[in-house]
Structure 1
Amino acid sequence: MEALATPNMELQPLVTISLIWTEWLAAQDLDQLSQHPLLLALERNEANLATLKTLLVQHGHYSRHFTRYLCALMGHLQDADDVLALMENMREEMGVDGQDCITHADMFQRTLRVLGVSPADEPALPQTAAMVRTMLGHCQNTDALVGLAAMCLGAEAIVPLIYRPILQALEHKGYGEDATEFFKLHIEEDEDHALTMLAIMERLTQGDEQRRALAIDVGRDVINRRVEMFDAIWQQSQALATAESSRGDDSGRFSSADFGRVPSRLQARLPERLSHSQVMQASHDASATFCAQRKHKVHIVDLPSFAISMTVGRLDAAESTRLHRHNYETLIYVMQGEGYSRIGDRQVPWRAGDALYVPVWAEHQHVNTGTGECVYLACENAPMLQNLGGIALREELGPIHG
């Protein structure tokens, strides 16, 4: 099926909907969604984890009524075949067709659990409550066309515009299948539901432009309520970010005056990023600078750990590191190749599968004696020393091994 790109191609090249919706959804209405700063920030991985959690919680307040919307709509359909057609949607929502019998609501709740949030954590925003009232009111309308337009144009047809940025944000932040399945499934399936509803709408309007205009207006009304909900979430996240930045650079550090704030129990605080995708293929300015200093390839693992660092080092055949030392410990695991390390006055041979230890302030140098590339993983406690007051030191001592 041909796809319609959202109007501003340079901002949202990946978000598309089918061309069939051009007669029912105005470009400016789609633009409100595709160019909304909240969705753009999610897609570009510029939204923090707190913003993503707030969006999911507010969406939970809205989506938990989905079966009510659908039941109210079906109650006003006159044709039994139309009711049966929408029952397919209901069956999928209730999970009765799947082998595991998991409902879509359960899938979404699983996403929330993985992220450690619940709709009980924060009340529905006024704009979210307005979204719920608007959708339910349209679906309860005795004119079935109104409910169909609300569900079809204001929800099912625009799922890719809303869910794909959320899915991308979850993947950017390292969440797996348990968190993403709900969004993947709806991106794949919801257009089929939308097309089923559209077929009924086409029959109910039967070329009547006033009826068609009514449906378009209802769809626009629901989209506007959704945009207002997104506006409120975005404004709240921006206000929190501003408040945090106003506390200054030392807002995350503690002094003697904060001794009374030591908590009585541990709290898990999940950072925004839990994975660094394709470390050896990714471009990283810090890695490039470090490579230039060390005169061999080093890939820095970019993760928010406060106590340990991790790097992937690479040495070409007959290549070595510079002689150097530092006041943090190092554990090295050799993934590929063979060679030796000079550690203090000792020479330690190694090959793939071996691990070695470099003590604090010991002079050391790693030498590849094989015919192929050597690849090794190094873990060090440098971040802990840096966070204790910038007392991590590294010193280059000599030229590259001859």
Structure 2
Amino acid sequence: MQAIAIKPQEVTSLTGISPLWSDWLVEQDLTRLVQHPLLVALARNEVSLASLKTMLIQHSHYSRHFTRYLCALMGQLEHAEDVLALMDNMREEMGVDGQDRITHAELYQRALRVLGVSTADEAALPETAAMARTMLDHCQNSDALVGLAALCLGAEAIVPLIYRPILQALEHKGYGEDVTEFFKLHIEEDEDHALTMLAIMQRLIQGDEKRHALARRIGRELIDCRIAMFDAIWAQSLVVAVAETGHREQASRFSSADFWRVPNRLQARLPERLSHSQVMQASDQHDATFSSQRKHKVHIVDLPSHSISMTLGRLDVTEATRLHRHNYETLIYVIQGEGYSRIGDRNVPWCAGDAFYVPVWAEHQHVNTGGGECVYLACENAPMLQNLGGIALREELGPVHA
């Protein structure tokens, strides 16, 4: 029997994954994944080299068994066509796809050698071992749908979300093709592998909602396992940072137990990144996510400030922001254009060169009434509230302007 052919679709999801996965992967789970502090810190180059090495070693403990997962899964498939379809994936993994490439496992080990580490340097964390064990158990399940869901939804479909931040961290730190090739290959190729598995899954399910729900549940289970693994890696990375620097990394939180850490003098600690070049020209996943939520173009200034945020908002002719409110203060400076802002029960007119204030929790909306694009700079104390315990709030109220 022929599997259903599926073509990749344009990425429109807030998490950067093709919309064809919306019936299989829960957006909330994907958001938890891409917003995990470990992946965010990797993408922003805010982890030490030691922490990056820990991430790669732990991932190796899981991924080095990939051919075992795939072989176990193929052993449960009934149709030769399905086995042959997955053999393409196997040939790429083994480096025997006719392109004279070394195996993916060898590419990964080469990257570790260049970084000066090996899998033997650190034992697998309990959460890493649990991730590998869970994947293998599912791939060995006599119901092939279970293994397909685990390997497709819990690995191949989400690989770009995981490998892209790792690749960014490696490139930030100046590593070349001998280290980055493994991650580039998988970002480019793994969606095709996922689509092959998805086609087989669809044929096995044949519209049975209970079977569909089973596949979704297995996918969620594997994402939960992966997040638990990232939690453990992130916790270990913070421990490593304390040992190396004597203080906690920026992303950690202080509690009552840290009272003894209060110093008697200030010490300047310069982060690696002190500038964000060409803010409005750069394309960023977080910009796309926030712009989609706000229904207009927003560019987030990416700087390591702990108390103040800065964004650039843009409104096309006649465009307005959504009516919204938040529990942090806002100062806005209009760079270009003219319009007004509804703040509470008042309309505040503005034009280029003006600045205005939005109080805490006041409903507000910005409206472009000029003949061209409006551009404004917004400064807010949201990071301060986020660092005080995640108490920053924003509520979207509606799209209509007065």
The equivalent residue for 2:132 is: 132
Bigger Cα displacement from structure 2, 81-90 vs 91-100: 91-100
| Aligned length, in residue pairs | 247
Offset at 1:282? 7.0
- Give the alignment partner of residue 11 of structure 2, picking from 3, 28, 47: 3
* 1:6–1:34 Cα contact (<8 Å) kept: no
User: Equivalents in 1 of 2:145, 2:66: separation in Å?
Assistant: 18
Change (3 A) 1:208 1:117: same
Partner secondary structure for residue 17 of structure 2: strand
> Which position in structure 2 is the counterpart of 1:224?
224
**For 2:131 and 2:216, how far apart are their aligned partners in 1?**
17
Q: Look up the match of 1:19.
A: 19
Q: Could you list the runs of 5+ residues in structure 1 that have no partner in the other structure?
A: 8-15, 249-271, 284-402
- Paired residue type of 1:199: A
Contact conserved, 2:50 with 2:240, CA < 8 A, in 1? Answer: no
* 1:37 lines up with 2:45 in the alignment: no
Distance 1:48 1:246, change over 3 A: closer
Equivalent in the alignment of 1:204: 204
Could you tell me which amino acid in structure 1 is paired with residue 10 of structure 2? E
Deviations 1:181-203 (A, max 9, x none): 00000000000000000000001
Give the corresponding residue for 2:74.
Answer: 74
1:162-192 residue CA offsets vs partner (Å, 9 max, x unmatched): 0000000000000000000000000000000
Shift of 1:97: 1.5
What amino acid sits opposite 1:172 in the alignment?
Answer: H
Contact residue 128 and residue 229 of structure 1 kept, 8 A = yes
Cross-structure match for 1:145:
145
SS at match of 2:12: strand
Partner residue, 2:110: 110
In percent, how many aligned pairs have the same letter?
72
Q: Which has the larger radius of gyration?
A: 1
Report 1:241-390 matches (<5 A): 241-246=241-246
Contact 1:40–1:165 (CA under 8 A) maintained in structure 2 = yes
Partners of 1:246 and 1:113 in 2: CA distance? 28
What is the DSSP-based 3-state SS (H/G/I as helix, E as strand, rest coil) of the residue aligned with 1:215?
Answer: helix
Amino acid in structure 2 at the alignment position of 1:46 = E
What aligned pairs does 1:39-78 form with structure 2 within 5 A after superposition?
39-78=39-78
Which region of structure 1 is more displaced relative to structure 2, 163-172 or 90-99?
A: 90-99
Query: Does the Cα contact within 8 Å between 1:6 and 1:30 map onto a contact in 2?
Result: no
Amino acid at match of 2:83: V
For 1:247 and 1:172, the matched residues in 2 are separated by 23
Alpha-carbon spacing, 1:50–1:98, altered in 2? closer, same or farther (3 Å): farther
Cα distance in 1 between the residues matched to 2:208 and 2:99 = 43
Residue aligning to 2:292? none
Match of 1:193 in 2: 193
- For residues 75 and 20 of structure 1, the distance between their equivalents in structure 2, rounded to whole angstroms, comes to 27
SS of aligned partner of 1:3: coil
Runs of 4+ in 1 over 4 A off after TM superposition: none
CA shift for structure 1 position 47: 1.0
**Alpha carbons of structure 1 residues 57 and 98: separation in structure 2 relative to 1, 3 Å:** farther
Contact 1:127 1:232 in 2 (8 A): yes
Query: Alignment RMSD, CA only?
Result: 2.1
Give CA deviations for 1:67-91 in whole Å, capped at 9, x if unaligned: 0000000000011100000000000
Give the partner amino acid of 2:63: S
CA distance in 2, matches of 1:173, 1:98: 33
Distance in 1 (alpha carbons) for counterparts of 2:99 and 2:32: 38
| 1:1-44 per-position Cα deviation (integer Å, ceiling 9, x unaligned) | 2113335xxxxxxxx11111011000111012110000000001
Gaps of 5+ in 2: 1-8, 249-270, 279-402
Contact persistence 1:135–1:151 (CA under 8 A): yes
Contact 2:61 2:119 in 1 (8 A): yes
Query: CA 1:247/1:186 → structure 2, altered by over 3 Å: closer, same or farther?
Result: closer
Give runs of aligned pairs for residues 165-204 of structure 1, distance below 5 A: 165-204=165-204
Residue type matched to 2:241 in 1? A
* Letter in structure 2 aligned against 1:145: L
Mapped to 2, the partners of 1:85 and 1:120 lie a distance apart of 34
SS at match of 1:5: coil
Amino acid at match of 1:153: L
> Are residues 1:89 and 2:97 paired?
no
SS at match of 2:124: coil
